[in-house]
Amino acid sequence: MIIQKSDNLRISTFDPENFSFGNTFVDHMVICEFENGKWGEPKIVPYGPLGFSPAMMGINYGQACFEGMKAYKDKDGDVFLFRPEKNFARINKSASRLAMPEVTEEMFMDGIKTLVDMERAWIPHGEGLSLYIRPLIFATEEILKARISEKYMFAVVATPAKSYYTEPVSVKIAEYYSRSANGGVGFAKAAGNYAAAFHPTRLAMEEGYDQIVWTDDSTHQYLEESGTMNVFVRINDTIYTPPISEKILDGVTRDSFIQLAQSLQMNVQVEPISVDVVMEAQKNGTLREMWGVGTAVVTTVFKSFGFQNEKYDLPELSDEDSYALTIKNKLTSIQSNLCEDPFGWRLKVEKNN
């Protein structure tokens, strides 16, 4: 791997006690270009703008996908990735669906580990703190033709992260808009999936909600995801979450939550969840919790939900009584090396520089 170190390091200006998620970037990034049917040699270069034309195919025809993952620092300064092999598999699944070349395991894993190793000083330590890592693939060919691009870039950027939502949120169950459809790209982390969600989310926010619980496109009777998160519902002492499909993202945090809940002897049912079942549980008092999970948020508890112009409050549970927070605390303890990792999910990033 080619490494070009920056002559203008900004780490001295970083205040781990005062920063915003998503707009503070580490000093370096990974880039690798695809041309003539093959990937070139990956490079670590100073973070900064890249020169592209408005005719670049990625911004005209939407060939672009990404991943979200994190690195964590423990009290001894050791750094860990969390289940990176899942992100590697998923970015290639997304790339394949968008007719883009898959990246090699060496490009992905070595690029990320080298970048994280170089940027250890940027990783804040503490509850809810981490380094958010964004690998992405996008078409770079400069031509206005609606066809598969012949040039691409793989890149990795990273930003210090703190808790995304600090308070429980209010959500609206979708009755008209859908996030994805059968035969579409809902299972992929395609950039266009997020763009299409912004308008209905804005409409929900204008009604006083923070996010949307997406429902199926054909009947709007089954819960699918919430915002950019996988969704969970607890009725009595049973946790329900929809099965992954071509419409639902195979979330790394989702899979971790399911395995952790089962290890804690909680009853988990991976099956379709109808709005009617949620409403009936709300009426008879058995709806205990609803929450979303994802890499950026880890867990976001819902305080209320809206459906058919009515708003319903959810019970306020203590950390000990909440399944969502019990599982979250166990997960973050594993991620941050505060407890044993019986699943083998942590990957230590060795020091090489």
Q: What is the pLDDT of residues 56-81, one digit of tens each?
A: 999 999 999 999 999 999 999 999 99
Q: Kindly state the average pLDDT of the residues 246-255.
A: 96
pLDDT single digits (tens) 220-244: 999 999 999 999 999 999 999 999 9
Q: Kindly state the average pLDDT of the residues 146-153.
A: 98
249 has pLDDT over 90: yes
- Report which of 261, 180, 284 is spatially closest to residue 225, judged by C-alpha positions: 180
Return d(Cα 87, Cα 93) in angstroms, integer: 10
pLDDT score for 259 = 98
Q: Which residue has the higher pLDDT, 91 or 18?
A: 91
**Domains along the sequence of the chain with CATH:** 2-161 (3.30.470.10), 169-335 (3.20.10.10)
Could you give the percent of the chain with pLDDT greater than 70? Answer: 99
pLDDT score for 160 = 97
93 has pLDDT over 80: yes
Instruction: Give every CB contact of residue 56 below 8 A, 6+ residues apart in sequence.
Output: 139, 140, 141, 142
First to last CA, the chain: 14
Helix (H) or strand (E) holding 305: strand 298-307
Pairing of β 169-173 and β 298-307: parallel
pLDDT score for 244 = 95
List the single range of 161-165, 280-284, 299-303, 341-345 with lowest mean pLDDT: 161-165
Return d(Cα 236, Cα 222) in angstroms, integer: 19
Return d(Cα 165, Cα 4) in angstroms, integer: 36
Q: Kindly state the average pLDDT of the residues 339-350.
A: 97
pLDDT score for 20 = 85
Return d(Cα 102, Cα 39) in angstroms, integer: 9
For the chain, what is the mean pLDDT? 96
Beta carbons of 111 and 156 less than 8 angstroms apart: yes
In a 10 Å sphere around its CB, with 0-12 CB exposed, 13-18 middle and 19+ buried, how is residue 283 labelled?
exposed
pLDDT score for 164 = 72
Q: Kindly state the average pLDDT of the residues 93-102.
A: 98
Q: Kindly state the average pLDDT of the residues 283-310.
A: 96
163 has pLDDT over 90: no
Single pTM value for the model: 0.95
* DSSP assigned state of 154: E
Beta carbons of 253 and 295 less than 8 angstroms apart: yes
pLDDT score for 353 = 62
Q: What six digits make up the tokens of 239?
A: 């946790």
